Amino acid sequence: MKPDKRKNPGQRNDRGRQPAAEILHGSDNSHQPEIELPADRLEGRNPVLEAIKAGRPINKLYVIKPKERPDPILARIVREAKEGGAVIMEVERSVLDQMSVTTGHQGVIAQVAMHEYVELDDMLAKAETSGEQPFLLVLAELKESYNLGSILRIADAAGAHGVIIPQRRSVGLDAAVAKASAGAIEHVAVTRVGNLTQTIENLKQKGFWIAAADEEGTTDYHDIDWNGPM
């Protein structure tokens, strides 16, 4: 963690989302979603479609596996959700039945983000206008909502300008993250990217130094020069 010597970047109201994600296939025998519907989920075709039309970011879209003749409404929901950066999970009806608490999921359940994601370029521009060197956190393979929420609190206290997470194999900004962050989710910008490795390479080309946490590392973080873009 970076020494706390930067100013708090303040509240971030940037808006933006990353495009497109590939379809992942699930089954009855795969990981079973929670039965209780949390505050960050929507059920039914019209509620989900209207949320997408309103620009509400979707973390994951659970949709019934298509039959020989695809449903045009569900196909439209899937298409527009993918364009907004959602991860699409095609599952059996029994999985949706288990997730649903309304008994009216109509073949689709959406896990919506509790806060807007921002574009990486907007995150960098925000740091530039603040007159500070950019300081970003890059998180990989983070699966637990509580951990992401805790990191957002640390990022806020350390004055980080933003957090970068991958679209796949990572928890999104769900209700549990919002609660664990204790309000920090409102002050720390978060962006989702399709290729984390490529994003890191692009940041290096922009002059960023990359410091990675490693349990076998020998350099204390106090000994790192944090004055440049990190």
**Quick check: 165 and 139 in contact, CB under 8 A?**
yes
| pLDDT at res. 38 | 60
| Residues near 86 by beta carbon (within 8 Å), at least 6 away in sequence | 21, 58, 59, 60, 61, 110
pLDDT in tens, 69-101: 888 999 999 999 999 889 999 999 999 999 887
- Which residue has 């530039």 as its token pair? 128
pLDDT in tens, 2-18: 444 444 444 444 444 44
Nearest to 17 by CA among 89, 90, 112: 112
Alpha helices (H) along 71-188: 72-83, 93-99, 120-129, 145-158, 175-180
Q: Which residues pair with 43 in a beta bridge?
A: 109
Q: Is the pLDDT of residue 169 over 90?
A: no
Say whether 164 sits in a helix, a strand or coil. Answer: strand
**Quick check: 164 and 193 in contact, CB under 8 A?**
yes
User: Would you kindly state where each structural domain of the chain is located, as residue ranges?
Assistant: 23-112, 120-223
Region 5-34: what's the mean pLDDT? 45
**Quick check: 116 and 51 in contact, CB under 8 A?**
no
Residue 104: pLDDT band (50, 70, 90) is: confident
Report which of residues 188 and 27 the model is more confident about. Answer: 188
Fold of 23-112: 60s Ribosomal Protein L30; Chain: A; (3.30.1330)
pLDDT in tens, 53-63: 888 889 899 99
What are the C-alpha distances in Å from 98 to residues 27, 166, 180, 226? 12, 27, 26, 48
Alpha helices (H) along the chain: 45-53, 72-83, 93-99, 120-129, 145-158, 175-180, 196-205
Asked whether the domain spanning 120-223 has the same topology as the one spanning 23-112, the reply is no
Fold of 120-223: Alpha/beta knot (3.40.1280)
Structure tokens at 25: 């296939």
| pLDDT at res. 14 | 45
